[in-house]
Structure 1
């Protein structure tokens, strides 16, 4: 598959570089794991096959062999040889076919999977591209015009689609659920009230490392601290009082106080938000978070694809 236009940012991703924080490498991987997994499943792949994560859109590519593809995630116009085709279903493509994606109208992360996955060499156990670390993908960089990704030669399989009622609603205004951390006690009751009852806005400083939000200030009584490991979804609060939710390409250690962590099921929703979107938070206990995750996994396991 030859890249004709890479769009705003297109990266090869698998589920990420797990267990490498001890040597200073971040995880990477898909910002929206649900859309990532289902792009692979619609292509009859294992969940960890390499796909292309496309931010915002504007992507186009030409296929040099027959294969099957699926596009999930943010809502965009998708055209194959100039004709509209659907997202969230298996599509047959042949040598010479050209795929074009418009720009996202809802959400901002898209996933393009191919039958058998993209044939990309793993580094430190993963193909996930982390540009800051110059690792993964094609030479550790974002895809550019003219790049060629090799595909596996496989016969067509049954075409399937995800029922519309199971597709994510990227306009969902529900609050992001937060498990408080051990440093939460360094924030006053008033500051925590401001945070959980306030309205925040996604700023222009939002990328794969994290989302900086603007809104009610909250401050910790801790003025300095030793750097420590940072979990996915951690809410760092720097001296200006404006929270930063750290995501896939976050640094492995940091020294700002942290109020808690956004549940991973909700960081996926945050990662689909663009500048100017409104964000709200609500606290949950560890036990509630476990229950929410178990129920979400059971619900996803019950999703049945529809034959086309």
Structure 2
């Protein structure tokens, strides 16, 4: 009643919606880097939205099914195969006992999400299955990524459940990326020239990216503050260190930080960034919080019902 990990891939982790209520003791939230793809995967299977999935980063994961089930695959195209047949993301597939699921390197996007009908049956840690390697919490054991020989349990099912995400909801991860930024209370420490530079510059995703943050490279921006007293940090915050190169904080971010923050992406905006590999160009535009709230409201109405 499980998937066996034949090869663990570059970075494959179990993630649910995240671990909330513990940032005051230094535990970050974790959770899916791409909430859009994660939510649609559970939607395809009519799962509860918090049911855990496998987040597959960069591919190379190979799984063997020990029982039948139905899977949903969303997010990046990692040249997935079911046995010897290529399969596309954003749809469901029936899995039989003995089937082999494999993932290669990315064609488009960076992270794929694999959900099973009814979710994976994994014990939670402090109310969540979310894997946070740095903090040794979540996943199958002690925050470890999936490794060869791991068994990921689920409840078997022989149902026929074929469903596909609507075409209008499937992102194009190769399209130009422009993200809305809600300016924060520290915006006054950045001059009009610095803000104009930020919003008119094409930045590039650097090689220095992970689940903690995305470092960008481009025209430096500077502010009046070289540092601040460390304070709590929100998902999607845009820190500006002394070198003037923005850092966008992601799901496994530290809980506090001492760099001034220009503003913040929305969760859906950060999800779009999470699918972009090093070398991708990204630009920004000012966005009011009401616009972000409206976008989220519409998304939740469609996906969460």
- Normalising by the smaller structure, the TM-score range is over 0.9
Match of 1:131 in 2: 133
Give the whole-Å Cα distance in 1 for the aligned partners of 2:90 and 2:292: 28
Q: Displacement of 1:59 after TM fit?
A: 1.2
Q: Displacement of 1:291 after TM fit?
A: 2.6
Match of 1:160 in 2: 163
Match of 1:113 in 2: 115
Give the whole-Å Cα distance in 2 for the aligned partners of 1:252 and 1:211: 16
Decide which of 248, 273, 279 is 1:245's aligned counterpart.
248
Q: Displacement of 1:268 after TM fit?
A: 0.5
Contact (CA 8 Å) 2:194, 2:221: kept in 1 or not?
yes
Match of 2:27 in 1: 25
SS of residue matched to 1:40: helix
SS of residue matched to 2:13: strand
Give the whole-Å Cα distance in 1 for the aligned partners of 2:238 and 2:250: 10
Q: Kindly provide the CA deviation profile for residues 220-262 of structure 1, in whole angstroms up to 9, marking residues without a partner as x.
A: 2112321000001000001111000001000000000000001
Give the whole-Å Cα distance in 1 for the aligned partners of 2:160 and 2:96: 14
Match of 1:77 in 2: 79
Contact (CA 8 Å) 1:71, 1:110: kept in 2 or not?
yes
Match of 1:15 in 2: 17
Q: How many residue pairs were aligned?
A: 302
Q: TM-score, normalised by structure 1?
A: 0.94
Match of 1:227 in 2: 230
In terms of mean alpha carbon deviation, does 148-157 or 203-212 score higher? Answer: 148-157
Q: Kindly provide the CA deviation profile for residues 127-146 of structure 1, in whole angstroms up to 9, marking residues without a partner as x.
A: 00000000000111011111
Match of 1:295 in 2: 298
Q: Displacement of 1:158 after TM fit?
A: 2.5
Match of 1:186 in 2: 189
In terms of mean alpha carbon deviation, does 75-84 or 126-135 score higher? Answer: 75-84
In terms of mean alpha carbon deviation, does 68-77 or 266-275 score higher? Answer: 68-77
Q: Kindly provide the CA deviation profile for residues 150-195 of structure 1, in whole angstroms up to 9, marking residues without a partner as x.
A: 1113341432112333211212324110000010100111111110
Q: TM-score, normalised by structure 2?
A: 0.95
Q: Displacement of 1:299 after TM fit?
A: 5.1
Provide the alpha-carbon RMSD of the alignment: 1.4
Match of 2:89 in 1: 87
Q: Displacement of 1:300 after TM fit?
A: 4.5
Give the whole-Å Cα distance in 2 for the aligned partners of 1:2 and 1:289: 40
Give the whole-Å Cα distance in 2 for the aligned partners of 1:296 and 1:42: 15
* Residues 1:134 and 1:40: Cα distance change in structure 2 (over 3 Å): same
Give the whole-Å Cα distance in 1 for the aligned partners of 2:42 and 2:188: 42
Q: Displacement of 1:30 after TM fit?
A: 0.3
Q: Displacement of 1:87 after TM fit?
A: 2.1
Give the whole-Å Cα distance in 2 for the aligned partners of 1:211 and 1:158: 37
Which runs of structure 1 show a deviation greater than 3 angstroms over 4 or more consecutive aligned residues?
295-302
Contact (CA 8 Å) 1:116, 1:154: kept in 2 or not?
no
Match of 2:175 in 1: 172
In terms of mean alpha carbon deviation, does 289-298 or 214-223 score higher? Answer: 289-298
Q: Displacement of 1:18 after TM fit?
A: 1.5
* Residues 1:233 and 1:150: Cα distance change in structure 2 (over 3 Å): same
Structure 1 gap ranges (5+): 303-308
